[in-house]
Amino acid sequence: MHHPLASSANDTPYGDSPFGVRGIAYVLALKHAKPAWIEPLRAKAGLRDFFSQIFLATAMYDARPLIVLFSAIARAEARDVKDVIVDRAGATAELDVKGMYRHLLKTTSAPEMAARLPKAFNRYFEPCVADVSEVTDTRMTATLMRLPEAFFGLHVYTTVGFVTRCLELAGAKRVQLRFAPPQPSPLAQSPATVDVGLTATWESD
């Protein structure tokens, strides 16, 4: 399955995309990055104002520049951008479970955690929505809906890192995630959106 992180067809100015992400994603990514990695972004006309602002953890921001930021980190660390997104999302999960969203994600078992995860996704992304259709002792099936077709990979790889780490913190072992091919969202929208099926499996002691 191909997960695009950007599209040349998407010419929406940075900062104006209808797809939002919670500011904590920018706060943590910028905290991880060295200043020298960020300065080139602030030097670009289309990104200067965006990356010069102060990001608030609970505010909502355009999600597209986050891909540019993750790409800059990946280049500096000589890594694949997909791996950077997964790792950063896992680090965010650690903070959420123990901090900002600890009441939302406080659980005593992996199945209970799996049932609560869509609430976290829905708080992080707009207008995207996650919905769980089934949870068993070792399996969860869900759907990520209304993802931006041009860069739905951001949401997919964020989900990989976040869901995997949350389940591990709840006691799950050997977590695996599988995604179905993206399908056009039922209601036509502009920019185009897709729905993606997700299956997570794990083992428990």
The amino acid present at 68, given as its one-letter code, is V
50-70: buried (b, 16+ CB within 10 Å) or exposed (e) per residue? bbeeebeeeeebbbbbbbbbb
- To which residue do tokens 């520049």 refer? 65
What's the pTM value of the predicted model, to 2 decimals? 0.91
20-203 placed in CATH 3.90.280.10: no
The amino acid present at 19, given as its one-letter code, is F
- To which residue do tokens 């790409």 refer? 71
pLDDT the model gives residue 45: 76
pLDDT the model gives residue 29: 95
pLDDT the model gives residue 165: 94
Nearest of 32, 22, 13 to residue 63 by alpha carbon: 22
99-119: buried (b, 16+ CB within 10 Å) or exposed (e) per residue? ebbeeebebeebbebbbbbbe
Q: What is the pLDDT along the chain (205 residues), one digit of tens a residue?
A: 556 786 444 567 888 889 999 999 999 999 999 999 998 888 887 898 899 899 999 999 999 999 999 999 999 999 999 999 999 999 999 887 876 555 555 667 999 999 999 988 999 999 999 999 999 999 999 999 999 999 999 999 999 999 999 999 999 999 999 999 999 999 877 889 999 999 999 998 7
65: left (phi over 0), alpha (psi -120 to 50) or beta: alpha
